[in-house]
Structure 1
């Protein structure tokens, strides 16, 4: 024991060398949870004001949104393109670097979920409303009206390129963005013991005081606003698709804005019941069933449709994606006005949408990935959902393009020579041309879309409740309901702004609100890498590398082939840790344990015991401390220290 203590320095917290800290889980810390009034008031006031403005003066909002959208796409579209490209490259480098072996949890922690369960939940995050809406319509759009400077419309080349372009928008780049946010949040919570907030990622950059103060609150406000508009776009798209399904099933013809309002109201009621009645778990189980049903619909289309054609098209479409990836990544406004317009309405919109969704999806996948290494996490998150989407979009989009080329009814041009089908109509038109599915799939799709939308509202509102409750994993129901109602209000405003082209209204506001958050996303890279550099495992790897190199050189020089390695003391500045100042605050401050008021408390990392007797399992102080006239229990209620069970 004396030999172990020889190298310790008195200013190490808890007399523990930073290379020996096993990590800290969020449930091991002590903190006060309460509503963050500043975040709630600012974010709530801004978004509620927007909803009121949109409902009372929609024409004015549309004009301002159009002007802002034009400015952003012509002046800031490069930022979205660069952000998506940088994140994909950085995440792949991170996965294959030595940092990839760092766990998103403590050193000895096993993954919380089995690999099969984890993959299933990634499927849940990867699938949703987009499959039935964009799956058949987006490839068809590129097939009949290819991206500028690519291929002639409705040719064999356009057929394959259209799938590659679709996979580009929904594949690796999207999930790299989610992996960045999710990985950084998971690392901060399960390795460094911080709360599940976006601002927790930036403690290394801002410092603890600023992160828990105004600078961190600004980050969380931007995260709330981005999530609100990104998820509202999803709810709006689901509403459009449900409206089209109702029209087909009932035969009512055009239903107009009244139907949109009714559907939004149904979603709001379903969400409120889920949020306040404790049926959220049931809704999530039903959502998982919906995923199975959605995959089932894709499989049925594959079987009932042009099976042999699709079997050949899917691998060709995937190779078109991989082969044309550098070319698609190089497209920007410098390619001309037509490319600029295409980028604005497609690529930039998708990058903005994924950035907007990243706090919501990122926190979700962080919650299910505790205990996995960064390498497992990054490669799994980027590849598994992408593969699923390649199959789903390839089947639905390939069938739609095949029906167009074969002259199936419903796929004709309008009087102007353009495809007459609107995006919400494409899926139902595909189904109508497959008699075995036409009778019941439209009705099933309405139910699937409604439950997916309610689940998205519930989950996203919970995340925003966390962001406005200082990271509490069980925010108050009233706050969750508030954010859900604001979100449905934004979705309604977006749809009404779009008039006959509702999708354009959705796209405009998503791009506008995501622009500031793109800068925050890039800062996450800097903040996360700064922390990984001081991670205990990273320190040990640097020690091991230097010690091994020194030992081998010295051993060969002194003994030739006949030497072995032994750990012995070295002169100061000559040992394995010579390149690291292990007493620097960057290495030691983060693992100093504190009580709920932020005051330092002694802690034994070997036994897991707190110096003042606090027990994280019960949230109470041990009886032996109480016998010494200490307060046996912290105050309860909203402001009490909480070791919560996360709501997933």
Structure 2
């Protein structure tokens, strides 16, 4: 066999071996009791620890967090940039045309619903909680070693820093997990298990190995703790909104537990109803409410100031990106190290801890889209929405604060410096900003109530998707886990948040902070897992049937053209396909084998070209 024929045969064999991987494999049924039992026991252990000695839990978590920030902050800084560059390279390389499903398959959800579900699950409640607080805080107290607070330069730095924490980088982390899940499940036919994303490295049976089960257990725990923290923070903000609007006089532990119970019932009901009816319906409603609230804030706030903030924020983000992306604790004094642990490294660890559940859910709703469509949708669209949200709410709050500072109107100020630190309560600052709008007290109260509903629905859409993901991980990656599994994990999420609030006593935030610290500490191994996932995903994509066909086409075409030029001595020729006969190895020399695809033939003026029955020149077989 010639070298060219051998290369063609090797590519055809690769294509044959790749094609069956596209067919859906029969999934295992029922609960994986090793994964479910282990994750449930560990979750119960954390809950009991918090009930028995919340102070001990808090001390251990705080100590572990300090060790992580001191010894591994550089890992988070480097990994965050690697993840962002990786997904961009994958999207805009030859891999971008690969569909997350069968060739020609249409997207499962409409683009508007897809974006609504993705955004509500991945970041919606965080933007409500921090949309005003973070830009305003950075404006009054910029990162150490940058600019002076409450100045025009501080505005640029504040908006650029907020976008750095909330746009491209976190969504890149989600996109890596989402790509791994969607490609492995819908293109290769694997079950929806976190461990199955590493099959290209450890083999297709990785999910049944001890290491694979450990990965799935860690993914469940990260999802459970992350959702519980989000539920607790959401309850605190809803309580603050009800108090600000005058509906309740206080928001003690009893009120917060009642809020958690109502939210838990809502997201469990939504999760049981399924993605198509529950999450999609709530996400679409929430996006409408968010747009209405943003329009009112835009019109009622300092509109011209907000319009100027938008390009200013983009400029600050682009100009400061190299410095922000490379900034570590050794870039300045102890104040910078403390700031990094409070913000940038904290955020990177937090997004990593959320990536198992958000990434798996985003991948689950992305069937039928190409990789390029997926990355553009996951990376760029939410980033643009975050830009507009932070500009309207954060920029609007800064505009109101700047106006009050210039007028020296203490009553109109949203925050004041206390010992050089802005006195900002994240639970209340959004509602305080709405109170300052010139829309009248009645409209302001209505806006607060709408915001409370918005927070509640944002959490419900995130928590019900988390329940579905945890249920699937407990049942061998089932695409539609059983209702009892979804209900169990949904109730467990509410129970974890409620018990930690009770364990916190008069200061419920302390218990949530302890649980949050544990979640961040658990993200350290996930950083390494996600870096390994980049390698596994690249290997899978390189062996995709579409990529092999492209390599085969280039090889056959280039070889045919080179041979035709040589055979026809530079004379004009044309290429067409004929069935090629390729000799097999010498041991089987008594037989010939036809290639499963056509080889190329060149047709030209060569005098020795074989003739068809009608006398036409058939051309030289290449």
* TM more than 0.5: yes
Write the deviation string for residues 274-307 of structure 1: whole angstroms up to 9, x where unpaired.
Answer: 4567899346523421221012101110011111
- Residue 573 of structure 2: aligned partner: 563
Aligned 1:371-410 pairs, distance under 5 A? 371-407=368-404, 409-410=412-413
- Residue 452 of structure 2: aligned partner: 446
Structure 1 regions of 5+ residues with no counterpart?
A: 1-5, 575-648
Q: TM-score, normalised by structure 2?
A: 0.84
Counterpart CA distance in 1 for 2:534 and 2:364 is 20
Distance 1:19 1:478, change over 3 A: closer
Q: TM-score, normalised by structure 1?
A: 0.81
| Aligned mate of 1:484, from 482, 485, 490 | 490
| Aligned mate of 2:471, from 462, 465, 479 | 465
Q: Secondary structure at the match of 2:424?
A: coil
1:419 aligns with 2:422: yes
Write the deviation string for residues 7-26 of structure 1: whole angstroms up to 9, x where unpaired.
Answer: 9999x9xx99527838625x
- Residue 592 of structure 2: aligned partner: none
Counterpart CA distance in 1 for 2:560 and 2:262 is 70
Q: Is the 8 A contact 2:350 2:520 kept in 1?
A: yes
Write the deviation string for residues 357-413 of structure 1: whole angstroms up to 9, x where unpaired.
Answer: 222222222222212211121122110111011101111000111121122625242
- Residue 433 of structure 2: aligned partner: 430
Q: Is the 8 A contact 1:8 1:16 kept in 2?
A: no
Write the deviation string for residues 327-369 of structure 1: whole angstroms up to 9, x where unpaired.
Answer: 1101012213322211211112211222222222222222222
Q: Is the 8 A contact 2:29 2:475 kept in 1?
A: yes
- Residue 597 of structure 1: aligned partner: none
1:257 aligns with 2:263: no
- Residue 22 of structure 2: aligned partner: 24
Counterpart CA distance in 2 for 1:500 and 1:150 is 34
Counterpart CA distance in 1 for 2:539 and 2:344 is 30
- Residue 128 of structure 1: aligned partner: 124
Q: Is the 8 A contact 2:174 2:358 kept in 1?
A: yes
1:537 aligns with 2:546: yes
Q: Is the 8 A contact 1:39 1:217 kept in 2?
A: yes
Aligned 1:263-278 pairs, distance under 5 A? 263-274=259-270
Q: Is the 8 A contact 1:345 1:507 kept in 2?
A: no
- Residue 103 of structure 2: aligned partner: 107
Deviation at 1:155, TM superposition (A): 0.9
Counterpart CA distance in 2 for 1:235 and 1:500 is 13
Worse-superposed segment, 162-171 or 286-295: 286-295
Q: Is the 8 A contact 2:19 2:545 kept in 1?
A: yes
Write the deviation string for residues 556-602 of structure 1: whole angstroms up to 9, x where unpaired.
Answer: 3443252333456487799xxxxxxxxxxxxxxxxxxxxxxxxxxxx
- Residue 626 of structure 1: aligned partner: none
Q: Secondary structure at the match of 1:424?
A: coil
- Residue 157 of structure 2: aligned partner: 161
Distance 1:348 1:41, change over 3 A: same
Deviation at 1:504, TM superposition (A): 4.4
Worse-superposed segment, 423-432 or 107-116: 107-116
| Aligned mate of 1:83, from 79, 89, 100 | 79
Q: Secondary structure at the match of 2:575?
A: coil
Q: Secondary structure at the match of 1:242?
A: helix
Q: Is the 8 A contact 1:349 1:510 kept in 2?
A: no
Deviation at 1:50, TM superposition (A): 0.2
Q: Secondary structure at the match of 2:106?
A: coil
Q: Is the 8 A contact 2:282 2:461 kept in 1?
A: no
Q: Is the 8 A contact 2:57 2:514 kept in 1?
A: no
Counterpart CA distance in 2 for 1:234 and 1:571 is 63
Write the deviation string for residues 504-525 of structure 1: whole angstroms up to 9, x where unpaired.
Answer: 4464233112112111111111
| Aligned mate of 2:355, from 353, 358, 362 | 358
Counterpart CA distance in 1 for 2:264 and 2:116 is 27
Q: Secondary structure at the match of 1:371?
A: coil
- Residue 194 of structure 2: aligned partner: 198
Deviation at 1:271, TM superposition (A): 3.6
Q: Secondary structure at the match of 2:188?
A: coil
Write the deviation string for residues 462-496 of structure 1: whole angstroms up to 9, x where unpaired.
Answer: 11010011012232323222222322233345555
Distance 1:16 1:331, change over 3 A: closer
Deviation at 1:185, TM superposition (A): 0.6
- Residue 527 of structure 1: aligned partner: 536
| Aligned mate of 2:326, from 322, 325, 330 | 330
